[in-house]
Amino acid sequence: MNNKQLPIDGKGFLNNPQHRAVFFQIIALIAVIFCAFYFANNMFDNIEKRGITTGFSFLDNTAGFGISQTLTNYDDGTSTYFDVFIVGLLNTLLVSILGIIFASILGLLVGIGRLSNNFLISKLSLIYIETFRNIPILLQILFWYNVVLAALPSPRQSMNYLDSVFLNNRGLLIPEPIFESGSSAILISFIIAVAAVFYLTRWSRKRHDKTGEEFPLIKVSLAILILAPTLVYFIVGQPISAVYPELKGFNFRGGLAIIPELLALLFALSIYTATYIAEAVRAGIEAVPKGQKEAAKALGLKDHVILSKVVLPQALRVIIPPVINQFLNLTKNSSLATAIGYPELVTLFSGTTLNQVGQAIEIILMTMAVYLTISIVISLLLNWVNAKMAIKGR
């Protein structure tokens, strides 16, 4: 037996706690990299053995299938799989952006309604939140889709408004605006009007700070925004015309069609996400100290002014972080549209395209990258808003 004692002062490399910590972290890192490399290598090995085509060259191939809603000039005979990817991406963005807008408005209203002194409003808000928050989103999507399809008549019995707007189980049909030459002038005039309103707002605020005089900002802004483009419209000779939907044979031709899948999905996503936003709004409002409200009241401010100028600006600081999460959730939940056939990214690209092409790894990677990018952009955007809203140290 060798009873040699370990040196207490520990000159060895691993006896230094700092070195030891670094050493084991490096070991762990190597293990992780090794595993990743091993699995990737294994994957490529198997793909090659089975003769599966790899690479992204499939994106240039002609897709050759029809899509029920396209925001680009998609042609089912000549467009490529890359075009399909873009169509899917735009459809995802469309439903997400519209969903975020509707969910925010509804959530804000219900959240405020939840705190209302009116018994009916507060209880209805409560019932709404508790019902829709506790039913899985997929079920709600299927429910609204079936409701939309069951409640609406067939094209030949369409609900008709002024012979220009039609509602049936193929969707909502509205006249399609056709922009002829000269319509860019209207767009330019609108942009100028927006800029004018922007400066007007700043000017009126400065004047208000200086003199305390109120300026009828909303009325004047609305007048500028509506009148300027309308005036230009008539000056350049009415370059915008409309194509009205018309029943020909089986379906309506012409006009813009909003498909029932989009309506159902938008409905389900907005209603579901709004419940969470409403709860965030309620939490935010309740987090504003009572004294703030009372002080505002003591100054003689009206109720809606208290809400918009005193309570909400402070509440937003609490509301924004959880609401960011809900926006992200809504975007990701839009992929459930695959259950009702709304042509968004997952349905079109990692569904149909994957099946026609068979290159699962490339396609799933691209789809994941898209959701990751959208999520990061949304959270960066709202983090920036959050930072703007934060209480500034004075």
**What residues make contact with another protein under the rule CB under 8 A?**
27, 31, 34-35, 38, 41-42, 45-47, 49-53, 64-68, 76-77, 146, 149-150, 154, 169-170, 248-251, 253, 259-261, 338-341, 343, 347, 351-352, 354-360
Name which of 109 and 147 has its Cβ closer to another protein: 147
**CB 69 to another protein: min, Å:** 10
Residue closer to another protein (CB basis): 67 or 330: 67
Least Cβ distance, residue 251 to another protein (angstroms): 5
CB-wise, 22 or 52, nearer to another protein?
A: 52
Beta bridge partners of residue 258, listed in sequence order: 172
Q: How far is the CB of 172 from another protein (least distance, A)?
A: 14
CA distance 345 to 349: 5
In the complex, minimum distance from the CB of residue 268 to another protein, in angstroms, rounded to a whole number? 16
CA-based nearest residue to 99, from 277, 279, 327 = 327
Q: How far is the CB of 305 from another protein (least distance, A)?
A: 49
What the block records as the tokens of 301 is 């401010």
* Phi, psi (degrees; rounded to nearest 5) at 252: -80, 140
Nearer to another protein among residue 11 and residue 49 (C-beta): 49
The smaller minimum CB distance to another protein, of residues 261 and 279, is found at 261
- In what helix (H) or strand (E) does residue 359 lie, and over which residues does it extend? none
Residue 373 CA to residue 382 CA, distance in Å, equals 14
- How many CB atoms sit inside 10 A of residue 56's CB? 13
Indicate the residue among 225 and 259 with the shorter CB distance to another protein: 259
The residue (of 24 and 203) whose beta carbon lies closer to another protein is: 24
Q: Report residue 68: phi and psi, to 5°.
A: -75, -20
We find the least distance from the C-beta atom of residue 137 to another protein, in angstroms, to be 17
- Least distance CB 329 / another protein (angstroms): 22
Between β-strands 176-179 and 171-174, what pairing exists: parallel, antiparallel or unpaired? unpaired
Among residues 250, 230, 257, 70, the alpha carbon closest in space to that of 176 is found at 257
We find the least distance from the C-beta atom of residue 348 to another protein, in angstroms, to be 8
**Closest to another protein by CB, 13 or 119:** 13
What is the spatial distance between Cα 165 and Cα 160, in angstroms, rounded to a whole number? 6
Task: Identify the bridge partners of residue 174 per DSSP, sorted by sequence position.
Answer: 256
Identify the DSSP state of 353: I
Helix axis angle, 260-287 relative to 81-114, nearest 10°? 40
Beta bridge partners of 257: 173
Instruction: Decide: residue 313, CB within 10 A, 0-12 exposed, 13-18 middle, 19+ buried.
Output: exposed
- Coil/strand/helix, residue 246: strand
Least distance in angstroms from the C-beta of 247 to another protein: 10
Residue 62 DSSP label: B
Report the residue number, 319 or 340, with the smaller CB distance to another protein. Answer: 340
